[in-house]
Chains A and B, each alone.
Chain A
Amino acid sequence: MSDLIRRTAAELADALSAGETTSVELTEVYLDRIAAVDGDVHAFLHVDAEGALAQAGASDERRAAGKTAGPLDGVPIAVKDVLTTKGLPTTCGSRILEGWVPPYDATLVTRLREAGLPILGKTNMDEFAMGSSTEHSAYGPTRNPWDLDRIPGGSGGGSAAAVAAFEAPLAIGTDTGGSIRQPGAVTGTVGVKPTYGGVSRYGLVALANSLDQAGPVTRTILDSALLHEVIGGHDPLDSTSIDQPVPPLVEAARQGAAGDMKGLRVGVVRELTGEGYQPGVQARFDESVQLLVDAGAEVVEVSCPSFVHALAAYYLILPSEASSNLAKFDAMRYGLRVYPEGVEDPNAEEVMRATRDAGFGDEVKRRIILGTYALSSGYYDAYYGQAQKVRTLISRDFAAAFESADVLVSPTAPTTAFKLGEKLDDPVAMYLNDIATIPANLAGVPGLSLPSGLADEDGLPTGFQILAPAMADDRLYRVGAALEAALLDRWGVPLLDKAPALAGAARKEAVR
């Protein structure tokens, strides 16, 4: 494979600036890589070679004319299929939206285009972002590049696997309960969930509006910071968007990489470690904490007692909002329309029922029914209302914890990647994957996951999560970059270099 594809986005940007390569060349290299390995990985639902090359060409022309659209101009990117892209299919991993081509771009996509990033295609995901394994995609699962028999995490397994398998230098994910961070952890990549409201949700097909947040999926902390600065900031089309400047994230990442953590108070969340966490995951976590201490940080243990209720609150709030969001998929205006069998001259309601039965997968149906239940009169107070109160308690826990710590840390996911199919019919076991990532979504605070090594027992990647107060996303990058530098120092090579070569790629290389 070309050496270009192993470089970080920041390095590619430098290479473009130096005239060492062109955006068209880069885009072609990545399209070739996708062609070589995506048959095995299945990170993409749709590849837009023509569109990406056209955007790359435009980028090269800009650069030749001495005007670039920003630091990442010309660096290709993959976008999760939950964001609308004008003229490019957007399915959300669901049969019900098969073939839907949105007539508009999400604000985030507009910003990518304006910043000159060619869009390689749309990445696979659990249907409507419901899941932690990408097995709930209606178009087949994505496989983990570290072991093709294992899950790449979810719901954004496609974006994480694309980046881990060097099919794209950058990708966009969305995180409702961990869908950026948990796939990052199990694929050995970096993922950031910004502060709620930090990145526009306009054009993000909502799973749970009060929890969803889009963010960067990359191989390094600096790359995430660069991408975050492109997509972040106020959007008047999203009422929940924060009308304040994005803090200087790239600067924080560069500063952090220098490694001095003196004066930093790192809070280890008691409720997010220990029991239920795989030994190898816990061991890599403890080592990482020690590396931060070695860099000068002070470690404190904090307790967030309400976090034990976070999963329950999450699995009430999410299905409730989702059940309402997904009502619009009714076969009337766009998407699938299925006529019920054996019904002569069916009415609109019968067509809706038949379409929604045929168009939604099991997990979506489970959650719609759960949400419908939680919002029903008679149950609202006991379920949805109570979940919203727990949400307040969780926010208060965070506020108290951030009194004694600048950032909070935990393992990102309790286990390494499990085998495909292993938890498919055990929803509760599946939901437990998000136990450490969910609290941040409930409180709206930002979180980041970076690779912390490989678990001894299975040799698979583990993730380290950093959480910061709302609007203090820069802290994630500062601490993340420091830890990343310390780990790289220890490993000698980036973690992804230890991943097995993909057979498909080997075959393709052999042919060349």
Chain B
Amino acid sequence: MTAAPALMSFEEALERFDPVMGLEVHVELNTVTKMFCGCPTEFGAEPNTQVCPTCLGLPGAMPVVNEKAVESAIRIGLALNCSIAPWCRFARKNYFYPDMPKNFQTSQYDEPIAFDGWTEVEVDGETFRVEIERAHMEEDTGKSLHVGTSGRIHGADYSLVDYNRAGIPLIEIVTKPITGTGDKAPLVAKAYVAHLRELLLGLGVSDVRMEQGSLRCDVNLSLKPAGEERFGTRTETKNVNSLRSVERAVRYEIGRQAARLAEGESIVQETRHWHEDTGITTSGREKSDAEDYRYFPEPDLVPIAPADSWVEDLRATLPEPPREHRARLQKEWGFSDLEMRDTVGAGALLLVEQTVAAGATPATARKWWLSDMARRANERGVDLADLGVSPADVARVQELVDEGKINDKLARQVFDGVLAGEGTPDEVVATRGLAVVSDEGALSEAVDRAIAANPEVADKIRDGKVAAAGALIGAVMTEMRGQADAARVRELILQKLS
């Protein structure tokens, strides 16, 4: 691998250049069966057990379109304010690759099912409108396992291919060039993908699990000298598969391209690969025929002509748009504008919503996700949603706290256990023995000992300085090694000293 290229600082890059972004998001639909055949789509099955002649590309086999996938595509298009094509076709995108069984991908070319839409994302209270170029249907490829010294494709001795994923329905959502975001570009990119995730989950069309690859993002980025109209040469960074990475990849490419341009070098139009671990992009191998896909209409599939009535029926199934949805939630939850903005900004809106749905109060749900969970996600370098703690876990832990079975300190230990794979919160509490001491006798004796050991503090409390109780509570908690209900301890102290 070549040495890491020079980077210009983000601040300087943004002073000299305007970034132009284009985002291509691939969404795996959560249909029961594949795009063109009746094979199951569940994640994690044994290799090559979810295949049939069609998705294996066996000679003679033919595709038939999954109606549910078309419905999902239309609903996504409508949710993104797109026009729905009155007539469109599938096309073959011809190129050779071993994980693609037919050596063409059945996709849509110049006739996407949805086109010319828009959506809005918010960053730090500022609204950015993102224009949608198109949303089209296509199929996923198989998965290669590279066997060799490095585990990467280069230097691998051979590859092993599993076609379970081949043919799973994908919707590719492509934005028009996003301009005018300035130094907010990385955040806008991240907010857009987070917004799409929220929208798609609201539609119920995808599991949108970035860590499982059911939502994948390619980032196109170019720079133009500040104030200039003409776009620069763009690069396409693939494999950007977390919200955090979207932001980092945009930031990295801005710095890399700015440094090159400042040196008078040109940007090569190419595919680049994002490396999650090192946080850099590297050049993909250029292919002489990469651009000549020889598209032509898929003769084995007939055109799709959605009737207006069908489209309108589907429109009626759309959930409320994200903006209205947020406004309603804010009202229901009683969050301030700032609290709401922080929640959205942290990518926690959906998690808070699900935690509330699981029984927690909005305030406690927000507290957990934006403080303790956010810190943990940051330490691990993952998105909140991919942390490994579910909204149901958070709600349950809070319930245990509310019931006085554990306190906040123990709650954090419960989350440690959940993250360490020790099971559900209840299982962690049981195996780690984390329940607070509820033996009134033991607690009462500990309080008596604390009062005896701190006569001046006790006097203050007797004089009505209730705030001083904190010192005694601390002493009791220390003795009980944290496994006491602080609220009960406080009650006991005040009782005894009143």
Contacts and interface: CB of A to CB of B under 8 A. Distances in A.
In-complex A–B contact (CB below 8 Å)? yes
Interface of A: 83-84, 90, 92, 97, 100, 102-104, 106, 201-206, 208-210, 236-240, 320-321, 323-324, 327-330, 332-334, 345, 348-349, 352, 372, 375-377, 380, 384
B262 interface: no
A352 B291 CA distance: 20
Contacts of B157: 345
Interface in B82-133: 92, 94, 96, 98, 101-104
B292 A377 contact: yes
B261 interface: no
12 contacts: A102-B58, A106-B60, A203-B53, A206-B60, A210-B299, A240-B300, A323-B94, A324-B296, A329-B59, A332-B161, A333-B56, A380-B294
A201 B59 CA distance: 11
B300 A205 contact: no
Contact of B64 (A237, A324, A345): A237
Interface in B160-188: 161
A239 B59 contact: no
Contacts of A324: 92, 94, 104, 294, 296
B103 A328 contact: yes
Given A240-B302, A324-B294, A327-B94, A333 B101 contact: yes
A90 B60 CA distance: 10
B101 A320 contact: no
Given A84-B59, A203-B60, A349 B302 contact: no
Contacts of B292: 376-377
A479 to B, nearest CB: 30
B457 to A, nearest CB: 77
Interface in B50-67: 53, 56-65
B53 A328 contact: no
Name which of B60, B62, B96, B98 has the most chain A CB atoms within 10 A of its CB. Answer: B60
Contacts of A320: 296
Given A104-B58, A209-B299, A330 B63 contact: no
B354 interface: no
* Most A CB within 10 A of own CB, among B59, B64, B157: B59
A324 B102 CA distance: 8
Contact of A203 (B57, B61, B102): B61
Interface string B142-163: 0000000000000001010100
B296 A375 contact: yes
Contacts of B159: 348
A334 B98 CA distance: 12
A238 B62 contact: yes
A103 B53 contact: yes
B60 A327 contact: no
A226 B63 CA distance: 29
Given A324-B296, A352-B96, A377-B291, A97 B301 contact: no
A372 B94 CA distance: 10
A488 to B, nearest CB: 38
Contact of A83 (B60, B62, B63): B60
A202 B296 contact: no
B59 A372 contact: no
Given A321-B299, A324-B294, A236 B60 contact: no
A330 B96 contact: yes
A102 B59 contact: yes
Contact of A384 (B56, B103, B296, B302): B296
Contacts of A329: 59
A104 B57 CA distance: 13
Contact of A90 (B59, B92, B101): B59
Contact of A330 (B98, B299, B300, B302): B98
A68 B64 CA distance: 33
Contacts of B296: 320-321, 324, 375, 380, 384
A259 to B, nearest CB: 40
Contact of A239 (B57, B64, B92, B102): B64
B426 to A, nearest CB: 48
A311 B176 CA distance: 43
A292 B462 CA distance: 124
A208 B92 CA distance: 14
A201 B294 contact: no
Given A332-B161, A375-B296, A201 B92 contact: no
A210 B301 CA distance: 10
Given A348-B159, A352-B96, A239 B60 contact: no
A327 B61 contact: no
A377 B65 CA distance: 28
Interface in B275-320: 291-292, 294-296, 299-302
A46 to B, nearest CB: 16
A83 B291 CA distance: 34
Given A240-B302, A380-B296, A384-B296, 10 more contacts: A102-B60, A202-B62, A205-B59, A238-B64, A240-B299, A324-B92, A328-B57, A328-B103, A348-B159, A380-B294
A107 to B, nearest CB: 9
Contact of A202 (B61, B102, B103, B295): B61
Nearest to A378: B292
A209 B159 CA distance: 32
Given A90-B59, A104-B58, A334-B58, A236 B64 contact: yes
Contact of B101 (A201, A328, A348, A384): A328
A374 B405 CA distance: 74
Nearest to B57: A328
Interface string B25-39: 000000000000000
Contacts of A203: 53, 60-61
Contact of B103 (A208, A321, A327): A327
A334 B302 CA distance: 28
A208 B53 CA distance: 19
Contacts of B64: 236-239
A348 B62 contact: no
A429 B60 CA distance: 30
A97 B59 contact: yes
A237 B58 contact: no
A380 B91 CA distance: 14
Given A102-B59, A206-B60, A236-B64, A327 B104 contact: yes
User: Could you say which of B96, B159, B292 has the most chain A C-beta atoms within 10 Å of its C-beta?
Assistant: B96
A284 B485 CA distance: 107
A239 B302 contact: yes
Contact of A237 (B62, B102, B161, B294): B62
A384 B101 CA distance: 25
Contacts of B161: 332
A176 to B, nearest CB: 12
Nearest to A201: B62
A238 B104 CA distance: 19
A377 B296 CA distance: 11
Most central of A103, A237, A323, A345 by chain B CB within 10 Å: A237
A236 B291 CA distance: 35
Contacts of B295: 375
